[in-house]
Amino acid sequence: MDSRVFWGVLCALLVFSGIWAVWFALGVYAQRQAVSDALVQSQRQSYQAARAYEVQRAVQAKRVLDASVHDTYIHALADDQRCVGGVVLEVRGNVYTQVGSIAQPVHCTGRRADRPLR
């Protein structure tokens, strides 16, 4: 009778340890899968953030370029115009004519006016 109890207890312990080993292996697998999923999600989010940043920088660069082109070509003085004393004057031979009205002249700095001339 003692040997049957011994073998019964031994079989029960083996079954219990097998169940425990399978449960532990499944836990480790689930944990690794969760870490892998989190890593993939983190990489996806960082890629999306980087892409959004690139798009934002491109839009900002285009705005700066458009503003620069606008200022350069729209506000640039023509060949027959000069900036004298901070006011745009048209020069035709010996005749100097102020651009704009007397009350609101077009102001300038260097070769650029403060508002469109054309």
Ranges of beta strands (E only) in 1-118 are 81-84, 87-92, 95-98, 108-109, 112-113
Task: Quote the CA–CA distance of 75 and 44 in Å, as a whole number.
Answer: 45
What pTM, to 2 d.p., does this model score? 0.44
Question: Would you state the pLDDT for residue 74?
Answer: 67
Residue 108 makes CB contacts below 8 A (sequence gap 6+) with: 77, 83, 86, 87, 88, 114
Which residues of the chain are modeled with pLDDT < 50? none
Question: Would you state the pLDDT for residue 1?
Answer: 62
Answer for the pair 80, 91: CB distance below 8 angstroms, yes or no.
Answer: yes
The per-residue pLDDT for range 20-49, each reduced to its tens digit, is 999 999 999 999 999 999 999 999 999 999
Residues making up the chain, counted from first to last: 118
